[in-house]
Chains A and B, each alone.
Chain A
Amino acid sequence: MPATTVRSSVPTVERATLGNGLRVVLSPDRSSPVVAVAVYYDVGIRSEPEGRTGFAHLFEHLMFQGSSSLEKMEHVKYVQSSGGTLNGSTRLDYTNYYEALPAHALERALFLEADRMRSPRVTEENLANQIAVVKEEIRVNVLNQPYGGFPWLTLPPVLFETFPNAHNGYGGFEDLESATVDDAQDFFDRYYAPGNAVLVVGGDLDAADTMRLVERHFGDVPARAVPERPDFDEPAPTSERRAQHVDTHAPAPALALGWRLPDPADLAAYLPFVVLSSALTTGDASRLKRRLVHTDSLATDVGTHIGVMQDPFDVRNPTVLSIEAHHGNDVAADRVVTATDEELDRVATDGVDRAELERVVARLESAILQGSDHVLSRTLSMAAFEQQRGRAELVGELAGHVAQVTPEQVRAAAATLRPDNRARLDLLAGAR
């Protein structure tokens, strides 16, 4: 029986670059009276200097502390009292800020983003307050949590050797505590230039009207020099790199295997790994779930991540495919690794047949469509695609590209995932 296929529609996109260098993408979709606004700055965890681990994320918090026209909390109050929600996040290669709101609050959201692009309002008091908040964020997500930071914080230092790729993006407490208002000023001046940002607005909007509003609010944000993005590439492992991590909260062990991937900029070379990842661990029909969980009962859970932050399309080179498995105390980690290697070898040797590939593609297509049903997640995807690939339209085109991946490409992708070019991290259960 053939797999189900549908045709996904490519969104309408209007583009402009303002005089100050800000790139703008508007994408009307009038199916619901909601809009989303996203600003992506081209600076992330990889750009923070040594001695300032966690600074990109701390700075993200500071962007909510008031701006040129607004006191602390006013930004948040304006969004929420307009019926909206908001947040920001810090990734390896970008920091983003976004709102989802009723359509009638669109101009207000544009104003608020422009106001903090003009200048955030950082004081000693706000800085000290947000350092305390970030420390609690790290405690709740990492230090006080079983499997906290596994493997997103603990695998990169095994797989990578250079500071930008290997360091802890949440930051050490000493580094966070030594951050100053001047550091924040310098970071803003250097990285938050309008020419270093992309603005994407999606949802129930009229493109021409909205472009006028964008020009009105962002047009006079002063232009500044745009930093050159460094090449963060480094050599891939030539032998297996191993480490152990004792997790004192964890009741059972876990394992992460990580490999370098081709440069995501080359979509044709990259997508076979996205498909392979799904074939390996998405759903009960996937190969590693069948082998490790159902047939051999070696693992209680297994998953594959593309990118340490688990989004294949939010990261530039160099990046990672990782396999994460949780297993019982009575199962030796080596057995899990051996079975995983055998399954990878099976794909590398025999490939996948067309029927399996079609099923995997149907599942991926469905996930892509479901993701694009929400105005905010669709707008965020468009912003990442625009920033990193200059093509917001990929939000609608991606499923078509995925469907072009051939069985031979998936086979060849699996053949690159070998024991001698990976990192292996064993999480040891240290709970009493």
Chain B
Amino acid sequence: MSGPTTEQPAQPRAVPGLGKVRRAKPPTVAERVLPSGLRVVAIRRASVPVVHLRLRVPTAVRRDADLARAGMLEHTMLLGTAERSQSEIADALQRIGGSLRASSDADRLVLAGESLAPGLPDLLGLLAEVLTSASYPRAEVEREAARLADLLGRRLSQPGVVADERWLRQVFGDHPYGREYPAPEEVLDVSASSLRSAHRRRLVPDGSLLVLVGDLSPARVLDRVEGALAGWTGDGSPTTVPKVKRFTPGALQLVDRPGAVQSNLRVGGFAMPRTDPDHAAQELANAIFAGPFVSRLTQNIREDKGYTYSPRSSLHHNARASFALLQADVATEVTAPALVEVGYELGRVASLPPSADEVESMAQHLVGVLALSTSTQAGLAATLSVLLADGLGVDWLRDHPQRLLAVTPDQVHDAARRILAPATRATTVVGDASVVGDSLRDLGPVDLS
């Protein structure tokens, strides 16, 4: 189509250049470590009259049974306290336009919440109450266990989730990083009394981090937090997962899903931690390979070949292992050809430096995305709590754009060799084995399950 039928074809015009770069104002920050060992960081961003908080407690999954218990802690922590029922807690949160929710992974438990700005004292009061006196009432815990089992059953029925889980198992084996979700029957075995003791043992302030962001006065908030959380004490130190063993990639793991109209491809392996001096270079390598829409793999298997809708490779940083993982869901009939293209693009980025233009463009993109993702209260709270827990400072956000813009093509190439070389990658495919099995075996060894 060259233009509206009634008009002459429009003449090409020149694309305007960029204006003068404007920098975000550095935020006002205040920080204090409380006598309990809790580190509190408060940041003012008064864009809307709301405050957000993120509490990260480093308590690790160390054995198999810990995973179901951690999952149940998430779902039962707000079922009651010494003073209030679940309904009363929920009413109190609703009254301040707030919410409070728990989540966990193998390294930590996170409590995240927010409220209208004048409700912050109440929000902190509720947080303290839950931390110091969550009651885990038995009937409600049993109800939540049944409910969580059902939720897990539904989650694990999604082919993409199955693919992620099987890939983690392939790379991390029996290590706690080897799965994200417990089996439904495991959570049914978790008792209320074991949750009470897990809470006492695991939810300790020493080594924990509380980040507050929003329409607040940082210095005053520190005093308020110190007062509200004075009663949160407890013996115990942060725990970490066992050391991760190096992994040698083996055969492609094919998980049969009879009748599937798509195959879920997962290809990845180890990467560098966020604290590595080459982190900016690996971010660029990963993005050039299969990050945003302009990335090589998207152009290849989506915009050229139409094999897939949304392929993407992401960097994941756990406390004791980082990894890069490509997720691409492709039409069943092109499963093998799509994997060939994935291998080609991995090989290309690992064996040849990208052009200076490609690096510069992608660096600009990542700088912009970082600015956008930290331009909201919620985004700033989420990003900062992750960075600070990794031992990085607030100034990391200020300095990271310069680090990205300084990376050279050779540094990207070097990082790509370390985190994207085909020989170091593990591959999992969930799909209809009767249709895709033979063509995958033509590419290399396949283990079917």
**In the bound complex, do residue B147 and residue A300 qualify as a contact, i.e. CB atoms below 8 Å apart?**
yes
B10: contacting residue among A72, A118, A290, A300, CB under 8 A: A118
Contacts of A328 in B (CB 8 A): 146, 150
B36 interface residue (CB < 8 Å to A) = no
Please report the C-alpha to C-alpha distance between residue A68 and residue B377 in the assembled complex, in whole angstroms: 39
B127 interface residue (CB < 8 Å to A) = no
Q: Please give the distance in Å from A72's CB to the nearest CB on chain B.
A: 7
- Can you sample 19 A-B contacts with CB below 8 Å? A4-B116, A5-B116, A81-B362, A82-B365, A83-B369, A85-B292, A86-B293, A104-B20, A108-B15, A139-B309, A143-B262, A144-B261, A248-B259, A362-B116, A363-B98, A369-B49, A370-B50, A372-B48, A431-B157
A1 interface residue (CB < 8 Å to B) = yes
**In the bound complex, do residue B94 and residue A285 qualify as a contact, i.e. CB atoms below 8 Å apart?**
yes
A310 interface residue (CB < 8 Å to B) = no
Q: A104-B21, A139-B261, A250-B157 are in contact. Are A119 and B3 (CB under 8 A)?
A: yes
**In the bound complex, do residue A366 and residue B12 qualify as a contact, i.e. CB atoms below 8 Å apart?**
no
> Max chain A CB contacts within 10 Å: which of B143, B259, B292?
B292
B270 interface residue (CB < 8 Å to A) = no
**In the bound complex, do residue B154 and residue A326 qualify as a contact, i.e. CB atoms below 8 Å apart?**
yes
Q: A359-B91, A366-B98 are in contact. Are A129 and B306 (CB under 8 A)?
A: yes
**In the bound complex, do residue A189 and residue B5 qualify as a contact, i.e. CB atoms below 8 Å apart?**
yes
Please report the C-alpha to C-alpha distance between residue A366 and residue B91 in the assembled complex, in whole angstroms: 15
> Max chain A CB contacts within 10 Å: which of B48, B122, B307, B309?
B48
**In the bound complex, do residue A6 and residue B49 qualify as a contact, i.e. CB atoms below 8 Å apart?**
yes
Q: A80-B361, A284-B78, A359-B91 are in contact. Are A136 and B1 (CB under 8 A)?
A: no
**In the bound complex, do residue A366 and residue B302 qualify as a contact, i.e. CB atoms below 8 Å apart?**
no
Contacts of A369 in B (CB 8 A): 48-50, 116
**In the bound complex, do residue A363 and residue B97 qualify as a contact, i.e. CB atoms below 8 Å apart?**
yes
- Residues on B facing A (Cβ under 8 Å): 1-7, 9-24, 47-50, 78, 86-87, 89-91, 93-99, 114-119, 122, 140, 143, 146-147, 150-151, 153-154, 157-160, 259-262, 292-294, 299, 302-310, 329-331, 360-362, 364-365, 367-369, 371-372, 375-379
**In the bound complex, do residue A133 and residue B302 qualify as a contact, i.e. CB atoms below 8 Å apart?**
yes
**In the bound complex, do residue B1 and residue A366 qualify as a contact, i.e. CB atoms below 8 Å apart?**
no
A365: contacting residue among B97, B299, B330, CB under 8 A: B97
Contacts of A222 in B (CB 8 A): 4, 6-7
**In the bound complex, do residue A185 and residue B1 qualify as a contact, i.e. CB atoms below 8 Å apart?**
yes
Interface bin, chain A: 35 or more
Q: Please give the distance in Å from B323's CB to the nearest CB on chain A.
A: 23
Contacts of B304 in A (CB 8 A): 129
Q: A4-B118, A283-B90, A293-B147 are in contact. Are A84 and B375 (CB under 8 A)?
A: no
A172 interface residue (CB < 8 Å to B) = no
A122 interface residue (CB < 8 Å to B) = yes
Please report the C-alpha to C-alpha distance between residue A296 and residue B95 in the assembled complex, in whole angstroms: 25
Question: Which residues between 6 and 52 of chain A lie within 8 Å of chain B, taking CB atoms?
Answer: 6-8, 31-34
**In the bound complex, do residue A359 and residue B94 qualify as a contact, i.e. CB atoms below 8 Å apart?**
yes
A76 interface residue (CB < 8 Å to B) = yes
Q: A326-B154, A359-B91 are in contact. Are A224 and B329 (CB under 8 A)?
A: no
A375 interface residue (CB < 8 Å to B) = yes
Q: Please give the distance in Å from A93's CB to the nearest CB on chain B.
A: 23
Q: A121-B1, A184-B1, A283-B99 are in contact. Are A373 and B376 (CB under 8 A)?
A: yes
**In the bound complex, do residue A83 and residue B368 qualify as a contact, i.e. CB atoms below 8 Å apart?**
yes
B1: contacting residue among A107, A143, A188, CB under 8 A: A188
**In the bound complex, do residue B95 and residue A68 qualify as a contact, i.e. CB atoms below 8 Å apart?**
no
A140: contacting residue among B16, B18, B262, CB under 8 A: B262
Beta-carbon nearest neighbor of A289 in chain B: B90
**In the bound complex, do residue B294 and residue A300 qualify as a contact, i.e. CB atoms below 8 Å apart?**
no
Q: Which of A95-103, A230-238, A335-343 contacts B (4 or more CB under 8 A)?
A: A95-103
Contacts of A112 in B (CB 8 A): 15
A252: contacting residue among B93, B140, B154, B308, CB under 8 A: B154
**In the bound complex, do residue B365 and residue A81 qualify as a contact, i.e. CB atoms below 8 Å apart?**
yes
Contacts of A374 in B (CB 8 A): 375-376, 379
Please report the C-alpha to C-alpha distance between residue A360 and residue B17 in the assembled complex, in whole angstroms: 48
Contacts of B329 in A (CB 8 A): 136, 139-140, 144
**In the bound complex, do residue B3 and residue A118 qualify as a contact, i.e. CB atoms below 8 Å apart?**
yes
Question: Which residues between 282 and 305 of chain A lie within 8 Å of chain B, taking CB atoms?
Answer: 283-285, 290, 293-294, 297, 300-301
Pick the 6 closest A-B CB pairs, nearest first: A83-B368, A132-B306, A366-B97, A81-B361, A285-B90, A284-B90
**In the bound complex, do residue A4 and residue B119 qualify as a contact, i.e. CB atoms below 8 Å apart?**
yes
With A5-B116, A76-B293, A373-B377 given, can you name 9 additional A-B contacts, CB distance below 8 Å?
A81-B361, A82-B365, A144-B260, A285-B87, A285-B90, A285-B94, A297-B143, A362-B97, A431-B157
**In the bound complex, do residue B306 and residue A4 qualify as a contact, i.e. CB atoms below 8 Å apart?**
no
Q: A33-B24, A68-B3, A122-B1 are in contact. Are A373 and B15 (CB under 8 A)?
A: no
Q: Please give the distance in Å from B93's CB to the nearest CB on chain A.
A: 7
**In the bound complex, do residue B19 and residue A104 qualify as a contact, i.e. CB atoms below 8 Å apart?**
yes
Question: Which residues between 196 and 244 of chain A lie within 8 Å of chain B, taking CB atoms?
Answer: 204, 222, 224
A73: contacting residue among B114, B150, B303, CB under 8 A: B303
A3 interface residue (CB < 8 Å to B) = yes
Question: Which residues between 104 and 148 of chain A lie within 8 Å of chain B, taking CB atoms?
Answer: 104-108, 111-112, 115, 118-122, 128-137, 139-140, 143-147
A136: contacting residue among B18, B122, B143, B331, CB under 8 A: B331
Q: Please give the distance in Å from B431's CB to the nearest CB on chain A.
A: 10
**In the bound complex, do residue B4 and residue A140 qualify as a contact, i.e. CB atoms below 8 Å apart?**
no
Q: A144-B261, A222-B7 are in contact. Are A252 and B150 (CB under 8 A)?
A: yes
Question: Which residues between 41 and 92 of chain A lie within 8 Å of chain B, taking CB atoms?
Answer: 68-70, 72-73, 76-78, 80-86
**In the bound complex, do residue A80 and residue B365 qualify as a contact, i.e. CB atoms below 8 Å apart?**
yes
Contacts of B292 in A (CB 8 A): 80, 85
Q: A77-B294, A83-B371, A135-B331 are in contact. Are A360 and B94 (CB under 8 A)?
A: yes
**In the bound complex, do residue B378 and residue A6 qualify as a contact, i.e. CB atoms below 8 Å apart?**
no
